[in-house]
């Protein structure tokens, strides 16, 4: 419960840093969020809690912020989610909601390469889960 209160502050910080005008700060913050998320996904999620979804929510918010967003940022978000899925597919529980929200937003991207990447990775997720 304490972690949930701490995460509320940290999530807002990651969203703010991920929306910064300096591309280096954006990339560093998204990569840091990825590292922290992977560490958190290593822990088993307690029943009736959705902390994984909360941890991945900044990725969703950053991915949905379309205005003044660079292609590299959107691509990095999809790549981070894919890496998390591939490394922690067995331990993701409530986090699937955020994962599929990111893939849904990416499927609506104006860049064909990002749309194709999202579609291919959804296919991979389905085969990994089977």
Which residues of the chain are modeled with pLDDT < 50?
A: none
Closest by CA to 99, choosing from 127, 71, 80, is 80
Per-residue confidence (pLDDT) for residue 130, from 0 to 100: 66
What pLDDT does 11 receive?
Answer: 94
Q: What is the pLDDT of residue 2?
A: 80
| Residue 24: predicted pLDDT | 93
pLDDT of residue 97: 92
One DSSP character per residue, the chain reads -HHHHHHHHHHHHHHHHHT-SSHHHHHHHHHHHHHHHHHHHTSPPPTT--HHHHHHHHHHHHHH--TT--HHHHHHHHHHHHHHHHHHGGG-STTHHHHHHHHHHHHT-SSHHHHHHHHHHHHHHHHHH-
Radius of gyration in angstroms for the set of CA atoms belonging to the chain, rounded to a whole number: 14
Structure-token pair, residue 93: 């529980």
pLDDT at 33: 95
């Amino acid at each position: 419960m304490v972690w949930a209160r701490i995460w509320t502050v940290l999530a807002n910080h990651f969203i703010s840093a991920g929306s910064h005008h300096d591309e280096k700060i954006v990339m560093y913050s998204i990569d840091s969020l990825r590292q922290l998320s992977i560490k958190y996904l290593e822990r088993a999620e307690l029943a009736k809690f959705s902390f994984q979804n909360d941890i991945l929510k900044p990725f969703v918010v950053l991915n949905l912020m379309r205005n003044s967003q660079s292609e590299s940022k959107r691509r990095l978000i999809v790549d981070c989610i894919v890496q998390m899925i591939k490394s922690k597919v067995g331990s993701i529980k409530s986090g699937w909601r955020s994962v599929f929200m990111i893939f849904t937003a990416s499927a609506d991207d104006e860049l064909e390469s990002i749309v194709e990447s999202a579609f291919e990775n959804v296919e991979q997720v389905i085969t990994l889960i089977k």
